[in-house]
Amino acid sequence: MDQNELITQITNEVMKRLQAEMSRQSVQPGAAVSGGGKFTGADPASLAKYIDHTMLKPDATLAAFDKLCDEAKQYGFKSVCVNSCRVPYVTKKLQGTNVKVCSVIGFPLGAMDSRAKAFEARRAIEEGAQELDMVINVGALKYGELKYVEDDIRAVRRATRGTTILKVIIETSLLTDEEKVLACEISKKAGADFVKTCTGFAGGGATAEDLRLMRRVVGPDMGVKASGGIRNYDKAVLVLNAGANRIGSVSSVPIVTGVRAEDAGY
């Protein structure tokens, strides 16, 4: 049995187990994975430590990154997440603070050569990135090139030299449930620290159903990041209770202040 056949066999077994668990537990949308919704009623400001404050717009100016960093320092967000060309700028702006610098890699398509992703990862780390969010090669996954997908992730993992947090964006809106399981399994096997829902550039967004599935596949010890369409406190609580332990959002300030994103200009 070759590697792809083995992964397919394991995926089928995992899907059967997950379906059996869901049937036994009668899990409803929005319910917590365990513990009965521990984030429900949480102080909005307390969610800041779970949030990667994000700016990935192609037309973002330096003024936008100034604002991003100032808000991250003010509210105590976990990190700022930016395109790799802005890593040096935000690293300097955040020097001496507890806010981490996160760079996306292979963003937003994930379809470039693995060596290019690895180079971008190394360069971002050299310039100050402490976390990386890489985009999986979605087309390769959907075509069944599973070893290619794994090697692609491993190339970036090697570039981190084990010192940088690696999150793998699986782009859930483009995948079937079986493909989501495969993507999570491969990411875990390749040594990633997190799996992440989506880029926000391919439609869709983080759902409770996807997050419960991802959490069940990767288990309790690997990170799960919810990203895409999280614009207010209620949605943030929903995804955290569904199994996420990190959130990526451009509406981080409305989440932690309770102000509507539309009213705050986000």
Q: Which residues contact 86 (CB under 8 A, 6 or more apart)?
A: 55, 60, 65
Query: Which pLDDT score is estimated for 160?
Result: 95
Domain 3-12+38-254: which CATH number of 3.30.450.40, 3.40.50.10310, 3.20.20.70, 3.40.30.10: 3.20.20.70
Q: Is the pLDDT of residue 36 over 50?
A: no
- Residues tagged active-site: 133, 196, 225
pLDDT per residue as tens digits for the range 113-163: 999 999 999 999 999 999 999 999 999 999 999 999 999 999 999 999 888
Q: How many residues does the chain have?
A: 266
Report the alpha-carbon distance of residue 238 to residue 258 in Å, rounded.
Answer: 15
Six-digit token string for 256: 């932690």
> Is the pLDDT score of 80 beyond 70?
yes
The residues spanned by each domain of the chain are 3-12+38-254
Least confident segment among 23-32, 126-135, 179-188: 23-32
CA distance 191 to 133: 13
Pull the structure tokens for residue 19.
């379906």
- Residue 165: beta bridge partners? 131
pLDDT, averaged across the chain: 90
Residue 242 CA to residue 257 CA, distance in Å, equals 22
Q: What is the pLDDT of residues 211-223, one digit of tens each?
A: 999 999 999 999 9
Does position 195 have pLDDT exceeding 70, yes or no? yes
> What secondary structure letter does DSSP report for 50?
G
Reported pTM: 0.88
Closest CA to 245 of 184, 194, 204: 194
| C-alpha dist (Å) from residue 233 to 46, 51, 68, 184, 216 | 11, 12, 19, 27, 24
pLDDT value of residue 197: 98
263 band by pLDDT with thresholds 50, 70 and 90: low
Q: Where are the beta strands (DSSP E) in 56-119?
A: 79-82, 100-105
Q: Is 116 helix (H, G, I), strand (E, B) or coil?
A: helix
Q: Please determine, for residue 31, whether its predicted confidence score (pLDDT) is greater than 60.
A: no
135, 169 contact by CB (below 8 A): yes
